[in-house]
Chain A
């Protein structure tokens, strides 16, 4: 065999391969390079054999979907780990500050720093102080209506912060409360601000459409907002039942509507001290999702054995459970999949969710049989409710800070 320059042969092989890829047949290619026919021929045949061995180009869709889901899950975990939420930092700070001995000092300090941080936006160093100061203010004694007004004011602040961040082109984690609606083009709007939901949250968004919700989202510098969690925005109202009417009751000057799905724990009567989880309706009234007597026992984690609450008419000590009105045991822990740990009382599930499916089945014509409309004024019943009020601690009904997702322990071994 004559001596062949390997570089030249490589070059000719490359040109031949291109011709073969372009559809030219091997004999015609070899004719173009007769002096290399002996070396080139077998190599081109080999390449053709490789082509024929490639098999199908199809990629199994289910494998691709699994891979993408794994990637998305890891991205969410990374996001969580990379940027500890200011929300968490703020509330964590508060929790420590609220240790009894330090509470007073912390309050004063936080109130002052709260003033200093009033204009702070998410992501800024002062922002956790702003949130903590708000929590201190919420912890101060106030009427239930005053408390509710403050909470709504703070929700409004969150929205203004988001609007400012959008204008600034910031990239931050944000919280936003508002009615979840659809825009004209079908886009999702939270309190009028456009928001996107990833595929895994879309069903939940559909489920909560039209409701007053709390969304935790990532705001991008291009103004796009991508939701990370969504849940109903629920406020806690604690106070004495002043009036009971058909379909609604007044708790310390706040009218709360009671729907068929409202969950009632215990005998709700005028004069009783109650705690209610309520959500906003579009007409700015409130709908009770759950009402319970203050101080009533609560299951602690899991299906703890508790006394089955019953609907009682106006004679709590003698009334029997009406047929068909037994109440299922409740799981107030509301095993939400939300990792967000916050100080707000939005852990109670709202009416439409399965977790609070009404456990009392009222006659269709009645809003809720658990409520007995009465003209009795609150003070008429003072002596009866007194004992229960004494030990009725306010249940913050907070969610435990659940970790995001179970850890992906399936690191593959290669």
Chain B
């Protein structure tokens, strides 16, 4: 209810409502983007851009926003994916079909890192973009299956399947030690 009222006010460009929404969701967006990307500056830029897009969408009557968090996290995912696609110049398509899209991520940063945390993150970044997304939402932000499904615009069943595959793929990557 509180969020609805803030959303209504934000549509009228009420600065205090916009600030409230920003402050409530910025930590979620930032943590999510940071888990997915390495470059701190890019992380900050994308997290900030998400809210500028939100402002644009609020004024676009055709793009009605009902759930601010779902919209913000979905947009963050899209911006991350755009960034990664540009970075690797890979063809777009059905992300489910691209098994290892994000390989060779930031090689100069990952070299010689044997810290467990870095190894896991490096392995996560080798998953498909949607697998990374579900892993981040479910296990980093600890969103429920339903929340994750809403953000990813999938059914709960599809998210469960995706999550299962993501965990299995990650396990294989970690076992093979091929995180680079």
Taking a contact as CB atoms under 8 Å apart, the answer to whether A46 and B171 are in contact is yes
For residue B155, CB closer than 8 A to chain A, the reply is no
Taking a contact as CB atoms under 8 Å apart, the answer to whether B15 and A226 are in contact is yes
For residue A31, CB closer than 8 A to chain B, the reply is no
Give chain A interface residues in 51-65, CB to chain B under 8 Å.
Answer: 51-55, 57, 59-60, 63-64
Min CB–CB distance B173 → chain A (angstroms): 9
Complex CA–CA separation, A412 to B48 (angstroms)? 9
Q: With A67-B26, A82-B13 as given contacts, are A6 and B171 in contact (CB-CB < 8 Å)?
A: no
Chain B interface, >50% SS class: helix
Complex CA–CA separation, A350 to B64 (angstroms)? 46
For residue B167, CB closer than 8 A to chain A, the reply is yes
Complex CA–CA separation, A68 to B23 (angstroms)? 8
Scan B24-66; emit 1 where CB is below 8 A from any A CB, else 0: 0011001100110000001011111101100100010000000
For residue B88, CB closer than 8 A to chain A, the reply is no
Pick 24 A–B contacts, CB within 8 A, sort by A.
A6-B164, A11-B160, A13-B160, A17-B138, A43-B168, A45-B171, A49-B116, A50-B124, A50-B135, A52-B117, A53-B116, A53-B117, A54-B139, A59-B27, A64-B26, A71-B18, A72-B15, A76-B15, A78-B59, A198-B15, A220-B9, A413-B45, A414-B49, A414-B86
Q: Which residues of A contact B (CB under 8 A)?
A: 6-7, 9-11, 13-14, 17, 21, 42-43, 45-47, 49-55, 57, 59-60, 63-64, 66-68, 70-72, 74-76, 78-79, 82, 171, 196, 198, 220, 226, 412-414
For residue B121, CB closer than 8 A to chain A, the reply is yes
Min CB–CB distance B55 → chain A (angstroms): 6
Taking a contact as CB atoms under 8 Å apart, the answer to whether A74 and B52 are in contact is yes
Query: In the complex, which residues of chain A have a beta carbon less than 8 angstroms from the beta carbon of B18?
Result: 71-72, 75
Q: Which of B15, B117, B139, B157 contacts A75 (CB 8 A)?
A: B15
Residue of A nearest to B26 (CB): A64
Taking a contact as CB atoms under 8 Å apart, the answer to whether A71 and B22 are in contact is yes
Residue of B nearest to A48 (CB): B139
Q: With A78-B55, A226-B16 as given contacts, are A49 and B22 in contact (CB-CB < 8 Å)?
A: no
Complex CA–CA separation, A412 to B83 (angstroms)? 11
Q: With A10-B160, A50-B120, A71-B18 as given contacts, are A63 and B44 in contact (CB-CB < 8 Å)?
A: yes
Which of A66, A198, A412 has the most B CB atoms < 10 Å from its CB? A412
For residue B111, CB closer than 8 A to chain A, the reply is no
Min CB–CB distance A75 → chain B (angstroms): 5
Min CB–CB distance B147 → chain A (angstroms): 14
Query: In the complex, which residues of chain B have a beta carbon less than 8 angstroms from the beta carbon of A49?
Result: 116, 120, 174
Taking a contact as CB atoms under 8 Å apart, the answer to whether A21 and B142 are in contact is yes
Taking a contact as CB atoms under 8 Å apart, the answer to whether A71 and B23 are in contact is no
Q: With A78-B55, A414-B79 as given contacts, are A53 and B121 in contact (CB-CB < 8 Å)?
A: yes
Query: In the complex, which residues of chain B have a beta carbon less than 8 angstroms from the beta carbon of A55?
Result: 34-35, 117
Interface size of B as a range? 35 or more
Q: Which of B45, B140, B142, B174 contacts A414 (CB 8 A)?
A: B45
Q: Which of A21, A47, A50, A70 contacts B52 (CB 8 A)?
A: A70
Query: In the complex, which residues of chain A have a beta carbon less than 8 angstroms from the beta carbon of B116?
Result: 49, 52-53
Residue of B nearest to A50 (CB): B139
Min CB–CB distance B142 → chain A (angstroms): 7
Min CB–CB distance A413 → chain B (angstroms): 8
Taking a contact as CB atoms under 8 Å apart, the answer to whether B117 and A46 are in contact is no
Scan B153-175; emit 1 where CB is below 8 A from any A CB, else 0: 00001001101100110110010
Query: In the complex, which residues of chain B have a beta carbon less than 8 angstroms from the beta carbon of A54?
Result: 35, 139-140
Query: In the complex, which residues of chain B have a beta carbon less than 8 angstroms from the beta carbon of A226?
Result: 14-16
Q: Which of B22, B82, B118 contacts A68 (CB 8 A)?
A: B22
Scan B107-145; emit 1 where CB is below 8 A from any A CB, else 0: 000000000111111001000000000010011101001
Query: In the complex, which residues of chain B have a beta carbon less than 8 angstroms from the beta carbon of A9?
Result: 164
Complex CA–CA separation, A67 to B50 (angstroms)? 10
Taking a contact as CB atoms under 8 Å apart, the answer to whether A66 and B167 are in contact is no
Min CB–CB distance A60 → chain B (angstroms): 8
Min CB–CB distance B73 → chain A (angstroms): 15
Min CB–CB distance A54 → chain B (angstroms): 5
Complex CA–CA separation, A47 to B160 (angstroms)? 14
Min CB–CB distance A404 → chain B (angstroms): 13
For residue B95, CB closer than 8 A to chain A, the reply is no
Taking a contact as CB atoms under 8 Å apart, the answer to whether B139 and A67 are in contact is no
Taking a contact as CB atoms under 8 Å apart, the answer to whether A68 and B124 are in contact is no
Min CB–CB distance A15 → chain B (angstroms): 11
Taking a contact as CB atoms under 8 Å apart, the answer to whether B171 and A43 are in contact is yes
Query: In the complex, which residues of chain A have a beta carbon less than 8 angstroms from the beta carbon of B16?
Result: 196, 198, 226
